[in-house]
Chain A
Amino acid sequence: MGLCRYLPTPSDRMGILWSLLAIGDSVIVEYGPAGTTHFSMSLFGELGVDQQNRLFTTHMSEDDVVMGDVSRLEKALVEVDHGYHPRVIFVVASSVSAVIGTDLQGVCAYMQEKVNARLIAFEQGGFRGDYSVGIQAAYRLLAQDVAEANVPRKAGTYNILGASAGFFRMESDVREIERLMQEAFGMELNACLCLDTSVEKIQQMGCAEINLVLREEAVPAARILTQKCGTPFLLGAPYGYAGTLAWLEKIGQQIGRVVSPALRAALKKRAMEVMQYRIYGMMLKVNKPQVALFGDAPMVTGMSSFMDELGFPVVAKISRHSLRLYEAAAPSVRYLPEEKDRIAAMQALHHTLVLADDISKRLLAKDNTFLRVSMPLVDGAQIATHLPFMGPRGADFILEAVEVYLETLR
């Protein structure tokens, strides 16, 4: 990657940190220069994750870097264990400790007997890929090292895998999924990897009837849980009206439950109603409706399906992160590692409904219609937790932007 003019794609380490910060009863100890931890505060605050008594740094001196001395990490682990009594301490490498090759797994292994908390090391220092790689590592290690085997099944419960504070409106989306699962099947959420959850809930993940996997990064974790606990999983997310119904029906098939007739009827009705949008493609003579999408790959794919429901072609599907973990990524979804390619893609759009991030907004010609659907935030803040993009409520919200957009076309 050459010059980065705007915000770079967050690293694996950043994805790990914002995922782990969502887990109550745990503490993160970063082994690295303190400035990175302090600098991260504003981003994590923006993402809405609490850092008080949850995030600590050891700092590193030149002696630590040159001599490989880890005694300050050892002392910090004992201190945090003794002082805050967390169930788990996540020991996260920094770029510095990763480059000099500090053996964090080894430190955790010999320190485990000196502390009560479970020690789990993350040795990614920001060089193994972008946040897509980081969140995968976080989900996988949590499933592997924290979730317990032989947990009794609790009927009517499910887990969500693949949520994260780093995704725009994720909390709203999780609430919408909770609402849908309750309305469709009368089921309750157990653990959500990783949003507003706890060590205890993750330990009990094996109680669920099914794991709902919202993105491919969480598939390895889901497979571990299948092996460990026998829990089936479904990969996919509910976007659009028909898409939501199809998603619910797949869940129902997998767990032997039937979608509530009232919800099925409501979704079918809305799916029928939005078919009227197909007429705009025929009616409009000068500007045909078209859509461009930028953001997390699952959102891009899901929104694209919803646009299919409306009959709007999607002319650009650009992932914010690399797709190397996506075994089944649609070939039309692209990742543009060079920022200048992404700039060019956005600047080439005209008379398009662009669902993207605030950086894209700055690059667009004025004849486009923009709706923010992705991080990063540049303008304003994310406050609401009841404005999803998923489910029928998300589809309703998107349709409002569609209506604004259609008014700009001739």
Chain B
Amino acid sequence: MDGKELIGRMKPLSQVESMKQVAPLTNAMFPGTHCPLMGAAMAVRGIRDSLIIIIGTDECAYYTKHMTLHSDDFGGLGGRCVSVVLDGHDVTFGCLKKVEAAFGEVMAEYHPQAVFLVTTCVVEIIGDDMDAAADALTERYGIPVMAVHTEHFKCENHLPGLERTITACFSLMDNLPCDGSVNLLGQRMGRFEDTELSGVLQRAGVKIGLQLPCGCTVADVKRAAAAKVNIVVNEIALPLAQKMQTNFDIPYVFFDRFSAPERIAACYAQLFQALELPLPAELAALEQQARDMQAKGTAALTGVTYIYGNTPFRTFEFNRFMVDMGMVPLVLQTSALTPEDAADKAAILAKCDPYVTKTANIAPLQYVYDVLHPMLYLGHEYANRLRQKGIALVRTDGASSMLGFEVTGYAVQALMTAAQEARALRKGGAD
């Protein structure tokens, strides 16, 4: 492919106002985005005594089960991911009877506390009313059964699957008196106990309530409305938090995986204000460490060019953070551009104007590398292929289980390590 031609297809960030204006690099994509079915499975994984029933093709069922085979959380091969596989007859005449029959087998063998009926593309096309089926099964078996719709042709990636699954949990919640706890909503990977935020809250004497979807039981979900504050660590949990605010009067604080120290400090301040507790003294030291790391990063990373793919961070916030350290984005890949990103976008544009394209299409990117020659690639790519082109891969997946000032240090260190590798690959050319 012609890299220059591909670059010509991308718009600069300054010419983009919404995702509709962001074009994929090519029409034929590889590997493409993850689907919401996978997102739903990721969410159910953390709700320990619940079960997921995938209703779809052999292929949807196979790949999802395959994903769970080595997951202790799911219980491996015999674990709590099962399926109802549709055939041509079901597509023509509907699959509700088959689902009902399979559900009976699930109840007899698995004894779940709650069940998520996850529909896939084909079910949504044939129009079986799985919401009504879920209601009927709830009534019949006396356990919560929730329908989660995961058709991929209506959304960009897997995140709606996560969002819909955890939002469906609202129906489990009972109205309870406040016990002063905080719920953690939206952490997808890792354990909350391992995060800086968790430690800060525990040392401040704050009781941790529901952790959805990174580790909870159905009983935890039912007690969630006893919380004083919800901490939302990813946008996927905003609809649930907003519902809980409306129905149970529980405020929420948006505490995403920010990388800029001032942004993290603001989150902590807002959180402790909502908790009506003094700001812990330890935070000042943590913030200073993060700022020191940022300064170190600025010294080491100024002028380092990169292509941004997919990381655990908020795309525009993190890119603003990198640009503020003097780094130079050449291409930003994103799956979302929201009004909340406006300030970060403007800050990036004040210093540079990178190309922007959609995520999850690494096949044609290799031709773009040959024209733009970035030093770093952030996201999931084939590291050896990048190395051959003098590009270092920035590994940031470890940040998935981080919240707070620890994110700054981790991110800067990952960038500095990769920049050093890129310079070595180019024998000092980056200097």
Contact = CB atoms under 8 A, between A and B. Distances in A.
B32 A59 contact: yes
A40 B88 contact: no
A37 B59 CA distance: 10
A59 B102 contact: no
Contacts of A376: 66
Contacts of A58: 27-29
Nearest to B2: A83
Contact of A38 (B32, B98, B126, B382): B32
A35 interface: yes
A14 B58 contact: yes
15 contacts: A1-B87, A7-B62, A33-B35, A35-B36, A36-B59, A38-B35, A38-B360, A39-B60, A43-B62, A52-B363, A53-B30, A57-B32, A82-B1, A99-B125, A127-B91
A35 B27 contact: no
Which 5 residue pairs spanning A and B have beta carbons closest together?
A: A35-B35, A34-B32, A33-B152, A83-B1, A56-B28
A374 to B, nearest CB: 15
B69 interface: yes
A95 B151 CA distance: 12
Given A1-B87, A52-B363, A8 B62 contact: yes
B4 interface: no
A11 interface: yes
A59 B26 CA distance: 11
Interface stretch (A72-80, A144-152, A256-264, A292-300): A72-80
B29 A1 contact: no
Nearest to A131: B58
A42 B66 contact: yes
B61 A8 contact: yes
B153 A64 contact: yes
B168 to A, nearest CB: 20
- Give the most central of B24, B29, B59, B152: most A CB within 10 Å: B59
Interface residues of B, number: 59
A3 interface: yes
Contact of A362 (B38, B65, B77, B126): B77
Nearest to A37: B32
Do most interface residues of chain B lie in helix, strand or loop, or is the interface mixed?
helix
A58 B77 CA distance: 32
Nearest to B151: A33
B82 A79 contact: no
B205 interface: no
B326 interface: no
Nearest to A14: B59
Interface string A117-142: 00000000111101000000000000
B48 interface: no
Contacts of B66: 7, 42-43, 376
A204 B152 CA distance: 41
Interface in B33-69: 33-38, 56-67, 69
Contact of A96 (B26, B30, B38, B121): B121
Contacts of A80: 28
B58 A11 contact: yes
- Give the most central of A9, A41, A51, A99: most B CB within 10 Å: A99
Given A36-B63, A83-B1, A99 B122 contact: yes
A10 B27 contact: no
A397 interface: no
- Give the most central of B34, B66, B382: most A CB within 10 Å: B66
A56 B69 contact: no
B62 to A, nearest CB: 5
B364 A126 contact: no
A378 B82 contact: no
A95 B59 CA distance: 9
A75 B27 contact: yes
Contact of A13 (B24, B37, B59): B59
Interface string A336-358: 00001000000000000000001
Contacts of B78: 5-6, 362
A7 B26 CA distance: 34
B81 to A, nearest CB: 9
B364 A83 contact: yes
Contacts of B151: 33
A4 B26 contact: no
A34 B59 contact: no
B228 interface: no
Interface in B1-18: 1-2
B85 interface: yes
Contacts of B57: 11, 95, 125-127
A253 B125 CA distance: 55
A60 interface: yes
Contacts of B109: 5
- Give the most central of A34, A40, A41, A130: most B CB within 10 Å: A34
B26 A3 contact: no
Interface string A56-68: 1111111011000
B31 interface: yes
Contacts of A72: 27
Contacts of B58: 8-11, 14, 126, 130
Nearest to A33: B152
B83 interface: yes
B364 A3 contact: no
Contacts of B102: 2-3
Contacts of A387: none
A340 B104 CA distance: 14
Contacts of B125: 65, 96, 99-100
A376 B69 CA distance: 11
A323 to B, nearest CB: 17
Contacts of A37: 29-32
B105 A2 contact: yes
Contacts of B33: 34-35, 38, 59
B158 interface: yes
A52 B364 CA distance: 11
B26 A79 contact: yes
Contacts of A194: none
A55 interface: yes
B88 A42 contact: no
A29 interface: yes
Contacts of A7: 61-62, 65-66
Contacts of B60: 36, 39, 95
A127 B85 contact: no
Interface in B102-160: 102, 105-106, 109, 121-122, 125-126, 151-154, 157-158
B149 to A, nearest CB: 13
B52 to A, nearest CB: 12
Given A7-B66, A10-B59, A13-B59, A2 B101 contact: yes
B50 to A, nearest CB: 16
B84 interface: yes
Contact of B28 (A1, A8, A79, A378): A79
